[in-house]
Amino acid sequence: MKTYHYLKNGILEAYLLGLTTEKEKEEVEKLLTTDADVLAELNELETSMEEYFLRNAVPPPPSVREAIELRINETEIKKWDDVPYSHSNPKSAESNSSEPSYINVEFANTHIRVHKNWRAAFIAIFILSKVFLIFGLYYYFKSSSQEQEIIRLKAAVQQTAPLPRSLTP
């Protein structure tokens, strides 16, 4: 009964045209997995809808195909630019790929490309290194001056201390 209702109430047509609400869409998709009659009707409907839209088809100019080809290539290049190194590593490449996904880059250069977040990290490392250097120098000079003070005090103590009795005249 429910199947008949679905076949005749226009919900399949609305689903094919993208006019259903999310709830109706989910309902139809669920039914399609369980009801063979509804699936068969949908396939038939899809064919006739394709015929209908093909009757109203308009051939686009040839430049559109070239533009699509170009856009796909650009997308692929952009995708490669966004892929982190580990993804281009053949060990972690997509499992369904029959060959490793290498990017052929000429090796005779001394530059590397890193993510822009590294800039902040490099600045932080640079500032921290300067801070540590200043602290290091400060404590170095402080300890060396203290050592000199200790030597000076020792010398002063030795000079002021009384001589042993055996050494006195």
Partner 1 sequence: MGKMKQVYRKPTSQEIIRQADHLSLYDRYGSMAYGIILQIIPEPELAQSVLIDLFSSLQIRSYAEMSAHTTGNIIRLARSKAIAARPVPVTQSIPISNTNDNTEKLVFDLSFCQGYSLEAIAKKLQLSHTNVLKSIYTYFKHLRSP
CA gap 44, 49 in Å, rounded:
9
Q: Which residues bind partner 1 (CB under 8 A)?
A: 8-11, 13-19, 21, 42, 45-50, 52-54, 56-61, 63-65, 67-69, 71-73, 75-76, 80, 94, 97-99, 101, 103-106, 108-111, 113
Q: Min. distance of Cβ 88 from partner 1 in angstroms?
A: 11
Question: In terms of CB distance, is 67 or 153 closer to partner 1?
Answer: 67
- DSSP state at residue 47: H
Q: Min. distance of Cβ 124 from partner 1 in angstroms?
A: 26
- Tell me the C-alpha to C-alpha distance, in Å, between residue 121 and each of 32, 90, 116, 130, 131: 53, 28, 9, 14, 15
Q: Min. distance of Cβ 116 from partner 1 in angstroms?
A: 16
Return all residues near 42 (Cβ < 8 A) that are at least 6 apart. 12, 15, 16, 32
CA gap 46, 13 in Å, rounded:
9
Question: In terms of CB distance, is 109 or 117 closer to partner 1?
Answer: 109
Q: Min. distance of Cβ 9 from partner 1 in angstroms?
A: 6
